[in-house]
Amino acid sequence: MRIAVINRDRCQPRKCSKECEYFCPPVRTGDETIVFEGGKPVITENLCVGCGICAHKCPFAAITIINLPQELESPIHRYGQNGFALYGLPLPVVGKVTGLLGPNGIGKSTAVSILTGILLPNLGRGATCEEVLGRYAGSALGDYLRKVSDRGVRTSFKPQYVDRIPKSYKGCVSNLLDKTDERGALGDLVERLGLAHLMEREVESLSGGELQRVAVAACAARDAEVYFFDEVSPYLDIYQRINVARVLQDLASSSAVMVVEHDLALLDLLAESVHVVFGVAGAYGVITRPKGVRVGINQYLHGFLPEENVRIRPEAIEFEVHAPRMEKEIPDLVRYEDFQVKYPTFHLIAEAGSIRKGEVVGILGPNGIGKSTFIKVIGGVEKPSSGKMDTKLRISYKPQYLKADAGISVEALLRGLSKEFNSSYYQSEMIKPMAIEPLLDQELPELSGGELQRVAIVACLTREADLYLLDEPSAHLDVEQRMMTAKVMRRFAESTERSVMVVDHDIYTIDLLSERLIVFDGLPGEMGIAHPPYEMREGMNRFLAGIGITFRRDEDTRRPRVNKPGSRLDRAQRERGEYYYALDETG
């Protein structure tokens, strides 16, 4: 089966002639394959031969021609003619946490919208509700969809973009949460999620991490049969992510919980089964049958789904079994002495250390512990209260919270930062792996959170500097984008001998990226202590010992996996003092 998809966001018909001069003459003769409706091109699929000429000639990469197996002939939903198509649906299971794992723009949020009753599926042809129910009659999914149609199932939904909450609600946190407390569990949730000190704060004054925890509490406080959480990890540190995971697991003891998540360590800890979602972003998505969480994540990392006999990625994502070791002495880029930064309510103490040339240093610690302040001082953006920091280094800094300036396109931004924009090195090492090419014609405010993040990372690495500081580069990126971003930053450091410092909460990203670690201790919001850079093994052991969790290595993919507290492996690793780099002996 052949379908054509036109990305409406990329299509710019005003910049094309109405006859679409970019398409070859055979397409415009006789029975036209491409016609225009309402100023937008529409591809007649029964006439399309799948030659791919239009897809290659379109200057905005807005057209995709897809060949699908016969089994996928009828989607569960399609956004109009030549629009995005979704095949299959996941099924919430009472007593379990079910995960959805896949790239951005692949249909996960669409599936959640259907399961919550927000979106009525159309089977790709404008089908009625009864036609949809008839297609799935006699199945567990059909029974669930009928309940949703008859409003016989109570659902609760946490949206993906929590930063939009202040735009829709004005008032204090306590008033917002009181409205959601339908099962008398708000007090327990406030305590477990650390929200007590926020209850009298205005919603619009909350940080991203605070908004995320408030949104989780609001969703979990409702009396529902099925709970949907669309990405719970953004803006949260690893301590907070583990707390949220435990709340959701307790919630699943009497209800069904479904989670869309890109943090694989969190998903592995949280879910019992996962549905892998694959396809082409913005074109189509296919949701697999449920898989065990270990099997599903491993297959996703390998890039091959044996049951479906589909390869979803040309190369597997690989992890190192042992901590990286330095093979030779490398000179220091900068050595810094002890320094302190004092605010009226916060005190940062940094111990002396050094940053080597051409290395990537990861920075780990809870939110509010002074990590962003630390890298600002190292970079000369902020002055210490005591101690000297006169490095005279050229600094390139990507902040945690991004702002999109209006009136400038992605290409104009990047061209203005470097004369090497058209070079083969820049195109092959930055533009292509970070998937920036389809975004070049778009203006910055038009980009999604993940797209803006990728552009900001490339812009940071494009500037001429000695030291590159990136604050939470994994935010809003899906799993594949995080892995590719880690590889791009590490290759950049190695090939240019420039130093990179990265603050992030994603364990997988830090594992792939870093050669040494700076670990923060202290009391969030009051005092932070930045220790000098450790080698990976020592740094991870110190960090995880402070959290109280251990990781093992999966014997198949060598990826880090969280041990269940009190398990045999957990106890054995604690006794050896190996919290992170132990190999999973059992698989």
The DSSP code sequence of 176-237 is HHHTT-SSS-HHHHHHHTT-GGGTTSBGGG--HHHHHHHHHHHHHHS--SEEEEE---TT--
Supply 134's token pair: 């008839």
Q: Give me the pLDDT at residue 30, please.
A: 42
Residue 580: CB partners within 8 Å, gap ≥ 6?
537, 540, 541, 544, 550, 551, 560
DSSP letter for each residue of 367-420: TTSSHHHHHHHHTTSS--SBS-------EEEE-SS----TT-BHHHHHHHH-TT
We find that the CATH architecture of domain 332-547 is 3-Layer(aba) Sandwich (3.40)
- 569 near 584, Cβ under 8 Å? yes
Supply 548's token pair: 């109280």
CATH code assigned to 77-310:
3.40.50.300
Query: Checking DSSP bridges between strand 551-553 and strand 560-562, what pairing results, if any?
Result: antiparallel
- Looking at residue 532, the DSSP 8-state letter turns out to be P
- H/E element holding 142? helix 140-149
The residues that bridge with 340 in the sheet, in sequence order, are 349, 386
Domain pair 2-67 / 332-547, same fold: no
DSSP letter for each residue of 78-138: E-STT--EEE------BTSEEEEE--TTSSHHHHHHHHTTSS---TTTT--HHHHHHHTTT
- Looking at residue 431, the DSSP 8-state letter turns out to be I
Using left for φ > 0, alpha for ψ between -120 and 50, and beta otherwise, residue 355 falls in beta
Q: Which residue has the tokens 């990405």?
A: 231
Q: Give me the pLDDT at residue 193, please.
A: 93
- 333 near 392, Cβ under 8 Å? no
pTM flag (> 0.75): yes
Residue 371: CB partners within 8 Å, gap ≥ 6?
363, 365, 471, 503, 520, 528, 530
Q: Give me the pLDDT at residue 23, please.
A: 45
Phi, psi of 468 (to 5 degrees): -110, 125
- Looking at residue 60, the DSSP 8-state letter turns out to be T
Local mean pLDDT, 10-residue blocks, the chain (587 residues): 68 58 39 56 69 73 68 80 88 94 90 91 88 89 90 89 85 92 93 92 87 94 94 87 92 94 89 93 90 94 90 81 55 88 92 91 89 84 80 84 84 91 92 91 87 94 93 88 91 92 88 90 90 91 86 84 85 88 51
Overall size of the chain counted in residues: 587
Q: Give me the pLDDT at residue 382, please.
A: 83
- 558 near 301, Cβ under 8 Å? no
- 14 near 37, Cβ under 8 Å? no
Residue 255: CB partners within 8 Å, gap ≥ 6?
94, 224, 225, 226, 227
- Looking at residue 164, the DSSP 8-state letter turns out to be G
| CA dist., res. 247 & res. 250, Å (int) | 5
Smallest CA-to-CA distance from 123 within 197, 66, 72 is with 72
The counts of H helices and E strands in the chain are 20, 29
Q: Give me the pLDDT at residue 24, please.
A: 38
Phi, psi of 78 (to 5 degrees): -145, 135
Instruction: Map residue 273 onto helix, strand or coil.
Output: strand
Answer CATH for 2-67 from 3.30.465.10, 3.30.70.20, 2.30.130.10, 3.40.50.11810: 3.30.70.20
DSSP letter for each residue of 2-44: EEEEE-TTT--GGGS-TT-TTS-HHHHSSS-SEEEETTEEEE-
First to last CA, the chain: 39
List the domain boundaries for the chain.
2-67, 77-310, 332-547
| CA dist., res. 388 & res. 543, Å (int) | 27
- 439 near 282, Cβ under 8 Å? no
- H/E element holding 492? helix 479-496
Residue 464: CB partners within 8 Å, gap ≥ 6?
394, 396, 418
Is the C-alpha dihedral spanning 91, 140, 114, 286 positive or negative? positive
- 459 near 397, Cβ under 8 Å? no
Question: What is the b/e burial string over 400-410, where b = at least 16 CB atoms within 10 angstroms of the residue's CB?
Answer: eebeeeeeeeb
- 231 near 261, Cβ under 8 Å? yes
Residue 5: CB partners within 8 Å, gap ≥ 6?
63, 64, 66, 82, 83, 84, 85, 280, 282, 283, 284
- 516 near 362, Cβ under 8 Å? yes
